[in-house]
Amino acid sequence: MKSQRISRSYNDARIINITSAAGLIAMDGGSLYAGSKFAAEAFSTCLRHECEAFGVHVATVNPSFHTSNLTGQMGPHIIRLLDTLRPEVKEEYGEEYFQQYYNNQVEMPQKVMWDGSNVRDEIIRCIELKVPPPQVVIGLDARFMILAIRHLPVWLQDIFLFNTGGPSRKVKPSCMIG
């Protein structure tokens, strides 16, 4: 890591990292995505503490499901991914698992999708505020449900999130699919 002298000319500077509500609570079927978002949250928190003395403000913007290029391509992308799986992998998981996975990743989010302009507006607000909030959670589902769940003990989070009547299945981490 290269070291450089930081001058006071960085006062009122901002670093705004766009992460995701997936970086605030872990859900099955998204270990790689959520893991990268949790890492971005931790990185931003450390960076915020390190930059504070220099007047550099670090904020994360954590949208839930909002209209975007990513969410718009989710369905076709998952279908392409599932089409590339080896037959023995499809058999091991079972058709019911893949139907539930598609429902959880595509169909359910479409029902609670927020307007993407909300994300844009919050990013602009973080830029314009003299002191932006350290973490901005966007979407009522994320603000209330996810943030409330985060305050529960982990064992209770698991019961609430993973024992909701979905199909019984042998779940493997998403990084093992393929």
Residue range 137-167, pLDDT digits in tens: 998 888 888 878 888 898 888 887 776 544 4
* Segment 66-115, tens digit of pLDDT: 888 888 888 999 999 889 999 988 888 888 888 888 888 888 888 888 89
* Segment 34-51, tens digit of pLDDT: 899 999 999 999 999 999
Specify the pTM: 0.75
Q: Residue 84 to residues 56, 63, 125, 178: CA-CA distances in angstroms?
A: 45, 30, 42, 7
Question: How many CA atoms within 13 Å lie on the side-chain side of 38?
Answer: 10
